[in-house]
Homo-oligomer: A and B are copies of this chain.
Amino acid sequence: MGNVNIKDLAHALGLSTSTVSRAFRGNSDINPKTKERILAQAKEMNYLPNHYASNLRDQRSHTIAVIVPELANNFFSQAINGIEKIAQKNGYHILIYRTGDDFEKEVSFINALHNGRAEGIIMSVSGESQNHSYLKTLKAKGIKLVFFDRVYDDIPASKVITNDYESSFLATKHLIEAGCKRLAYLVINKKLSIGKMRMQGYLDALKESSIPFDEELIINCSNEAEENHKILRKVFTNLKPDGVFASVERLAIASYYTCQHLGLSIPDDMKIIGFSSLEIAPLLNPSLTTVTQPAYEMGIKAATLLFDSLKSPEPAHDFETLVLESKIIQRKSTS
């Protein structure tokens, strides 16, 4: 495939490879004129220092990895935007991995990343209830790890999260103040740390308002739209809740569809609030009251933490946990 290397270039110029190499590095001593000549010839011959050779030499890949459950999701795509911005600023490249909430995949991605491909990893996790020892070997390899949004509490690492407990408490209170008596809590996976914190906020708000807790109203949903439909149709019909707190965006959406299907009016028959990063929540019918996380900013912060630790001397004992604030934005679905 006729690739040009530093030797070809040196030969073409009648110089040594070391001199040519110097032209591409910032610091080294080199005659400006020689450098100019080299750069010109390089352009001519379409030469660029080989990434793999360079990185083998100095053991830096200038690459970070991002592992998320989902890409086609407003929260994660906005967060990745933030990560991307910081990475670009630092001249780093981004590898993207999507787990689809499959823990096996998460493990296999992490294992594959032990080979030096990436200097650091930013991850939102999918296996709260699992064994996390597969993450421990990263440290030995000098690979830095930062969690965001969905984290493992038992793994020491920097973390960027939101005040899930508090905003869930407030969201539930909001439904109660709007007049709801039977509040359903919709969750994808009860065991995820996110799910737990959010549920605790819900539970405590009920208790504070002396609303009896009904276990039946904790609804375990899925990642499949069709299945959620089926579940919610049954729940809305049989258990007749008058308020829904969706712990993730897609469950709020599913609730809308189900209400539409069953002819239930929002907010008259059913009030809905949900975690969501949907930019067009105001345009829904009716507009959706949301708990909105600062997704983009979380990406910025997570990446910033990672690069800080990448720049600092090797060991990292002092892990930071950044807690950003979600906002409850009241709209017509609860009014």
Contacts and interface: CB of A to CB of B under 8 A. Distances in A.
Interface in A163-181: none
Given A77-B73, A284-B284, A96 B98 contact: no
Interface string A63-82: 10000000111100110110
B61 A71 contact: no
Contacts of A287: 285
B71 A80 contact: yes
Contact of A284 (B137, B142, B280): B280
A233 interface: no
Nearest to A53: B56
A53 to B, nearest CB: 5
Interface residues of A, number: 52
A11 interface: no
Q: Is the interface of A mostly helix, strand, loop or mixed?
A: mixed
A287 B286 CA distance: 11
A220 interface: no
Contacts of A49: 115
A253 B74 CA distance: 15
A315 to B, nearest CB: 10
Contacts of A53: 56
A285 B56 CA distance: 56
B72 A81 contact: yes
In this complex, which of A77, A137, A257, A284 has the most chain B Cβ atoms within 10 angstroms of its Cβ?
A77
Interface string A223-255: 000000000000000000000000000000100
Interface in A78-104: 78, 80-81, 84, 93-98
Contacts of A71: 71, 77, 80-81, 84
5 contacts: A51-B115, A51-B117, A72-B78, A81-B98, A94-B97
